[in-house]
Amino acid sequence: MLRFFLSIVSLFFITAVLLLLTNFTLAQNIKPARSIEDSLSTKLDAEVKQFVYKGFSGAVLVARNNKIILNKTYGNAANFGANPAFWIASNSKSFVAVAIVKLQEQGKLSVNDSLTKFLNDVPADKQQITIHHLLTHTSGLPHKYVADGITKRDEAVKSILSLPLGWKVGEGYHYSNDGYNLLAVIVEIASKRSFEDYLRKEILKPAKLNKTGLWGYEDNAILAPVANIKNTEKIRPVIYKASKSVANWGYRGATGIYSTTEDIYKWILALEKNKVLNSTNREQLWGKQALMRQISPTEEHFYGYGWGVRFKNGKRFYVRHTGDEDWLGHNAVMCLYENGDVYVVLSNAGAPNDEMNWSSTVSRALQKQLQ
């Protein structure tokens, strides 16, 4: 009987040991996946810090597998809290493009509508321009900033439409801030609301972008400092005055939005998960709208609607945009890879050289680690 009892005890003991070993093995198998993320985060952080020593200041966010693995502020920007805002310059185009497509979703316009449907006295050489042309930088309008400082909408429209076309309408991709400023005008006319009101209520609110705002309305924002205060003193007071932005039509549509890394990440997720637009309309933003350049026989770069889109072997590789408010020293890059990786780089340090600003410099290093 004693022998039987000891056998039972031994069996329980062996079973317990086996269970402990099994759990330990499972824990060991799970741990490396987490360690890979930690390792990548550490590597990316070290990479960014090398640039800080050379003059980079700003904020960097990287996400993988729907999880933020790096979200830090560097340089003097870190003195303004864990998540300060930066002017994102031409990345603002993604917002006005979404506003336009949202209005199409609401039945208030079509991207195939011509300017004549919304604007009076359109010159004959511009009557064939459609909203699609403006969205894809194929309108033929040049890149001249003629609406800068103009506060009245009709005057801004007149200034832009007075520009001579640089190319035939629809004749290829030619970047134009002026064309995107017209899109902001169309948002107002089609929605019968101010541009700012439409963006806040129809775009920013559904995406839950609580720390994103617009030029001329920065009172409650915690903004990273400008790169060089003396540069701002050269800017006309109708654009920037007493260290504050002043609302004007040169900074609606093409540029003029501030945001944080966390809000930009939420913005990307909101689009990816169809929280602002349905999937069909979202695909217009990220589709093959206008060829920018043929990189290789298997790689192409297109401009969608407010986004640059890279394709490899016929499949979308990433969507991305950059921006540079050079006189403020604020610049930005945002990118979503098709595999779900995301990076956002915002900077207030201008550019390390004449070729590339800090956000683009840092993002290029991140790309090498993520690919």
Structure-token pair, residue 349: 């340090």
Whether residue 4 is predicted with pLDDT greater than 70 in this model: the reply is no
When the pLDDT of each residue in the chain is averaged and rounded to a whole number, the result is 91
**Mean pLDDT (whole number) for 162-181:** 97
**Mean pLDDT (whole number) for 326-334:** 97
Whether residue 307 is predicted with pLDDT greater than 90 in this model: the reply is yes
Whether residue 157 is predicted with pLDDT greater than 80 in this model: the reply is yes
In which band, very low, low, confident or very high, does the pLDDT at 35 lie, cut at 50, 70 and 90? low
Q: Which domains does the chain have, with CATH numbers?
A: 53-370 (3.40.710.10)
Full-model pTM:
0.89
Please state, for a pLDDT cut of 70, what percent of the chain lies above it: 90
Whether residue 309 is predicted with pLDDT greater than 50 in this model: the reply is yes
Query: Is residue 139 classed as helix, strand or coil in its secondary structure?
Result: coil
Helix locations, the chain, DSSP H: 2-52, 93-105, 131-135, 153-161, 177-191, 195-198, 229-232, 261-272, 279-285, 358-370
Whether residue 9 is predicted with pLDDT greater than 50 in this model: the reply is no
Position 21 scores a pLDDT of: 45
Tens digit of each residue's pLDDT (9 = 90 or more) over 74-117: 999 999 888 999 999 999 999 999 999 999 999 999 999 999 99
Position 172 scores a pLDDT of: 95
Whether residue 20 is predicted with pLDDT greater than 80 in this model: the reply is no
Position 63 scores a pLDDT of: 97
Cα distance between residue 143 and residue 155, in whole Å: 18
Tens digit of each residue's pLDDT (9 = 90 or more) over 198-252: 999 999 999 999 999 999 999 889 999 999 999 999 999 999 999 999 999 999 9
First to last CA, the chain: 67
Q: Which residues contact 274 (CB under 8 A, 6 or more apart)?
A: 282
158 vs 2, more confident: 158
Position 141 scores a pLDDT of: 98
Position 342 scores a pLDDT of: 97
Position 36 scores a pLDDT of: 67
Whether residue 168 is predicted with pLDDT greater than 60 in this model: the reply is yes
Cα distance between residue 73 and residue 57, in whole Å: 8
**Mean pLDDT (whole number) for 180-195:** 98
Structure-token pair, residue 362: 């840092």
Please state, for a pLDDT cut of 90, what percent of the chain lies above it: 85
- HSE, CB side, 13 Å, CA atoms: give it for residue 237: 2
